[in-house]
């Protein structure tokens, strides 16, 4: 099939034509090209505020595109090797939720790893789906969850043959990739769809020697965070459809929750970023991989730290590794990841992606420079010299397998009561509770709260992790189901 000419950017070009016309606005937004909000105009500039406009004929409509947005989406599908692509302006969260809502209905089972983003669980609250967790293995040396082994998925399919879909992280926040192509074969043989969360995998579509992308592996749907490694504005994302997917039904699902006032700043950033990646992505991500591998080598030479990479690959739960992810285990210098994260920010003015109990993640992408890498390595060396503690076996945590008593939807909407966390052992959670980032739930609605879970929550709090998700902003109270409601 002939490829489409990727040099064009139809939404961006339509906005530039719109600017030339000097259209008098008697529509929204009310700032009227910034004239009504001088401080905003000064802050963002006339070029930016001047294209913060409403849908109109020459600019198309995201909810029902027929011209420039549709053309831009077709270009995106071609660039990513998909049958269809949708621009998403409510973040990859909305793309993940749309994948689930388009596939799972009330009472349907979905196979998924425990280390999914909270958006997946929230989608199950909305649709009434039933999560079936495939065992997630833990690398005990660095304290991270890995991927799903094919043998574990085969067993899950045998035990839950009526499940409608399998949800896969491709890759995880830490760069771990499961055997997505193998999962697709197993799932399709069992009549199940495959949903790929590629929030951290835009570059897989354009890089070399990286894990396979969702569309190349044959996944049915993929949610891709263009703003993370693809260069578009924050909150902009895309959703991809493989062969045999009813794309117009998917658009109907998207329109259930996506805004009808889509930002043309976000839409045009997706359009321009797609063009940049289609034309220059291979070269750009070759450079990104090279920088990340250089940083990994330099950090490992410091001693104490462990910047892990392809040596983790075991062909099972770590089928492949995304070398652009600069994940570093820090407990070898006696500090947790969150402590190193805070030191980098407060002492060295370096903002990395996140720190958890055992690790930090520096996100390397197309906007990074080698001098920035050198500064990060130098700061880590200085931290080890100034702040290292006596090396000790710090708790890194087992990946706690939850007991699901009822569905997320049942628990979320059930009558409940607020209890101090310390008094909640044995009760059923009516809320989600997680460390953010990366936003992986410790508890989800419908799960039994155990002493082990409570100990992990308090350890995370003590080490400075941000606990989120409960009605109580301090996460010291939790809503639990009234006794008897879920016991059946």
- What percent of the chain is modeled with pLDDT above 70? 96
Per-residue model confidence as pLDDT tens digits over 227-268: 999 999 999 999 999 999 999 999 999 999 999 999 999 999
Query: What does the pLDDT average to over 155-162?
Result: 97
Per-residue confidence band for 438, with pLDDT thresholds at 50, 70 and 90? low
Q: Is the pLDDT of residue 107 over 80?
A: yes
Instruction: Say what the pLDDT of residue 442 is.
Output: 87
For the chain, the 3-state helix, strand and coil shares in percent, each to the nearest 5, are 40, 15, 40
Superfamily of domain 408-481 in CATH is Molybdopterin biosynthesis moea protein, domain 2 (3.90.105.10)
Query: What does the pLDDT average to over 117-135?
Result: 94
Instruction: Say what the pLDDT of residue 472 is.
Output: 92
Q: Is the pLDDT of residue 397 over 60?
A: no
Distances (CA, A) of 274 to 9, 95, 182, 281, 325: 8, 17, 28, 9, 21
Per-residue confidence band for 312, with pLDDT thresholds at 50, 70 and 90? very high
State which CATH number among 3.40.50.11720, 3.30.30.10, 2.30.38.10, 3.90.1150.10 fits the domain covering 281-387.
3.90.1150.10
Pairing of strands 138-139, 144-145: antiparallel
CA distance 199 to 237: 9
- What's the CATH code, domain 65-263? 3.40.640.10
* Greatest extent of the chain over all pairs of C-alpha atoms, in Å: 67
Instruction: Say what the pLDDT of residue 392 is.
Output: 63
Instruction: Say what the pLDDT of residue 123 is.
Output: 97
The secondary structure of residue 140, as a DSSP letter, is: T
- What percent of the chain is modeled with pLDDT above 90? 82
Q: How many residues does the chain have?
A: 488
Per-residue model confidence as pLDDT tens digits over 323-368: 999 999 999 999 989 899 999 999 999 999 999 888 999 999 999 9
Pairing of strands 477-481, 416-420: antiparallel
Query: What does the pLDDT average to over 217-235?
Result: 97
Contact (Cβ atoms closer than 8 angstroms) between residue 250 and residue 274: no
Q: Considering the entire predicted model, what is its pTM?
A: 0.94
Q: Is the pLDDT of residue 285 over 90?
A: yes
Per-residue model confidence as pLDDT tens digits over 10-39: 999 999 999 999 888 889 999 999 999 999
Strand partners, 134: 113
390-394, 421-425, 461-465: segment of lowest average pLDDT:
390-394
Q: At what angle do helices 10-21 and 68-80 cross, to 10 degrees?
A: 150
Q: Domain coordinates of the chain in residue numbers?
A: 65-263, 281-387, 408-481
Instruction: Say what the pLDDT of residue 204 is.
Output: 98
Per-residue confidence band for 485, with pLDDT thresholds at 50, 70 and 90? low
Instruction: Say what the pLDDT of residue 429 is.
Output: 96
Query: What does the pLDDT average to over 67-74?
Result: 98
CA distance 231 to 251: 24
Mean pLDDT (the chain) is 93
């Amino acid at each position: 099939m002939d490829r489409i000419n990727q040099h064009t950017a139809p939404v961006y070009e339509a906005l530039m034509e719109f600017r030339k016309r000097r259209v008098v606005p008697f529509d929204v937004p009310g700032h009227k090209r910034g004239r009504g909000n001088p401080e905003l105009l000064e802050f963002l500039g006339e070029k930016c505020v001047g294209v913060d406009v409403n849908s109109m004929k020459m600019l198309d409509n995201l909810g029902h595109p027929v011209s420039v947005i549709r053309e831009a989406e077709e270009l995106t599908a071609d660039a990513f090797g998909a049958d269809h692509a949708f621009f998403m302006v409510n973040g990859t969260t909305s793309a993940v939720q749309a994948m689930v809502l388009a596939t799972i209905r009330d009472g349907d089972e979905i196979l998924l790893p425990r280390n999914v983003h909270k958006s997946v669980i929230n989608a199950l609250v909305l649709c009434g789906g039933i999560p079936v967790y495939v065992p997630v293995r833990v690398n005990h040396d660095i304290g991270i969850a890995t991927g799903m082994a094919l043998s574990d998925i085969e067993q899950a399919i045998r035990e839950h043959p009526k499940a409608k879909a399998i949800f896969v992280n491709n890759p995880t926040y830490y760069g771990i990739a499961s055997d997505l192509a193998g999962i697709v074969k197993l799932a399709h043989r069992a009549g199940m769809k495959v949903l790929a969360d590629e929030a951290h995998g835009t570059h897989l579509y354009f890089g070399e020697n990286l894990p396979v992308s969702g569309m190349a592996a044959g996944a049915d749907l993929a949610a891709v965070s263009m703003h993370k490694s693809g260069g578009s504005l924050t909150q902009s994302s895309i959703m991809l459809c493989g062969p045999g997917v009813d794309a117009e039904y998917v658009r109907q699902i998207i329109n259930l929750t996506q805004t009808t006032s889509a930002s043309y700043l976000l839409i045009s950033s997706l359009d321009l970023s797609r063009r940049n990646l289609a034309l220059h992505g291979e070269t750009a991500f070759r450079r990104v991989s090279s920088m990340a591998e250089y940083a990994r080598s330099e950090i490992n030479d410091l001693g104490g730290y462990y910047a892990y990479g392809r040596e983790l690959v075991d062909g099972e739960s770590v089928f492949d590794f995304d070398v652009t992810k600069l994940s570093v285990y820090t407990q070898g210098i006696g500090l947790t990841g969150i402590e190193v994260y805070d030191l980098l920010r407060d002492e060295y003015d370096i903002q990395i992606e996140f720190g958890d109990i055992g690790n930090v993640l520096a996100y390397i992408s197309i906007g990074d420079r080698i001098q920035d890498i050198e500064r990060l390595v130098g700061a880590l060396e200085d931290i080890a010299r100034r702040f290292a503690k006596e090396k000790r076996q710090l708790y890194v945590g087992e990946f706690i397998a939850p007991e699901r008593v009822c569905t997320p939807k049942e628990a979320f909407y059930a009558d409940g009561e607020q209890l101090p966390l310390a008094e909640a052992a044995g009760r059923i959670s009516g809320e989600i509770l997680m460390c953010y980032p990366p936003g992986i739930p410790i508890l989800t609605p419908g799960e039994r709260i155990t002493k082990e879970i409570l100990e992990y929550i308090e350890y995370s709090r003590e080490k400075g992790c941000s606990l989120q998700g409960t009605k109580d902003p301090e996460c010291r109270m939790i809503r639990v189901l009234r006794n008897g409601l879920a016991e059946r």
